A = this chain, B = another copy of it.
Amino acid sequence: MKKQKPPEFEADFTERTVSSEVAYDGGLLKVMRDAIRLPDGAPAWREYVVHPGAVMMLAFVDADTILLERQYRYPQRRHFIELPAGKLEPDEAPLATAKRELVEECGFEAAHWWKIATLHPSIGYSTEAIHLYGARDLRNVGAKLDVGEHLETFPARLDDALEWVRDGIITDTKTALGLMWWALWKNDGA
């Protein structure tokens, strides 16, 4: 069957900003509360977290093996297995963040990088975008964890990590998606 585009949508559900204010700014989380107009003109409000954006990396130790991390995630009160990831610093380009975080968290530089996808993990209440990169030809240069940052990095076969997603051992959505993307489509830039 021929590949289909999405249907031609006629309805415009755009919500218009009336006013915007910082409702909370606690150091990690900045919450906006905006007065808006719904598409039918009715007044309403929207609350959301302003996020600087993040990166995530499929870092290949060899063709079948990537780097994973294990760390404690306080909001969920348990340890998670995740792909390496990190937040953009102000004015930092996503690829620069990816290179910086792969060194800081995992202790590796990569000779070859490529973009895989951009994703939006929490469209209901956050401005966050996650930029997914691939990296290969790794060289160990030693990790530089931030003070107070506690995590361990370990290599895993992609096929095993995918089974951990299927079995519910990996439940972090971004990590699951990164692994599944590779399983389905690999990537032309690799």
Interface of A is mostly: mixed
Copies of this chain present: 2
CB-contact partner of A76 in B31, B123, B171, under 8 A: B123
Min Cβ gap A177→B in Å is 5
| A93 beta carbon closer than 8 Å to chain B | no
Min Cβ gap A3→B in Å is 6
* Chain A contact residues, CB within 8 Å of chain B: 1, 3-4, 6-7, 9, 11, 13-15, 23-24, 26-29, 31, 33-34, 36, 38-40, 42, 44-49, 70-76, 79-82, 117-128, 130, 148, 150-152, 154, 156-157, 159-160, 162-164, 166, 168-169, 171-174, 176-177, 180-181, 183-185
